Structure 1
């Protein structure tokens, strides 16, 4: 828990930005799709079996107990975490970026 909240959309946009792709969103709800703004290629779409229209609007963890009892403090920002995850996948999973 960091006391911050982020959307899946924000995660997707940051991850693609890490490889130089800007995502343009079209549609709504389960029909919303993310396209590469430069090429128009479809990059992100929702699998209907995972779409939850009645999802709780806000889930936010409170890090104060971990900070007080363990001395824990977040050292990596959300943006840095996403960048680290993308770099790791590119280096270790043979993805090599968008085609």
Structure 2
């Protein structure tokens, strides 16, 4: 699509989809994301209870609280950006097989969250 999205934007959107607003502090490898607000009802709205109603009873709760650090850089994986920007070019695949990206970034993030929530309910982690 030629779109670029910083990791922070992806992280904010991901947490927003489960009802958590983050606040950021620090820089580089010392940057952290802390919980600013929590809305459990938003997280509950992602769960499709209808398909699992007969299998078990599930109550969505959270031990998370405002101020908890939920995002931090692991020094083992941190490295400064080596290049300014990497953007894929889908022109070749569009030309050869007619495929064109149609799903918006925000929708992809929501689909990923719903899928992961389904796995958590099924597997328990």
In our comparison, the structure showing a higher alpha carbon Rg is 2
Any unmatched runs of 5+ in structure 2? 38-65
1:14-93 matches, within 5 Å, as 14-38=13-37, 39-93=66-120
| Alpha-carbon offset, residue 94 of structure 1 | 3.3
Compute the RMSD of aligned alpha carbons.
Answer: 1.5
Stretches of 4+ aligned residues off by more than 6 angstroms: none
Report if the CA contact (8 A) 1:21-1:36 is conserved.
yes
**How far has the Cα of 1:25 moved from its partner?**
0.7
TM-score normalised by structure 1 residue count = 0.87
Unpaired segments of 5 or more residues in structure 1? none
CA distance in 2, matches of 1:10, 1:94: 26
Q: How many residues are matched?
A: 94
Distance in 2 (CA, whole Å) between partners of 1:55 and 1:33 is 21
- Cα deviation, residue 37, structure 1: 1.1
Kindly provide the CA deviation profile for residues 61-94 of structure 1, in whole angstroms up to 9, marking residues without a partner as x: 1111111111011121111111111111111123
Normalising to structure 2: TM-score of the pair?
Answer: 0.70
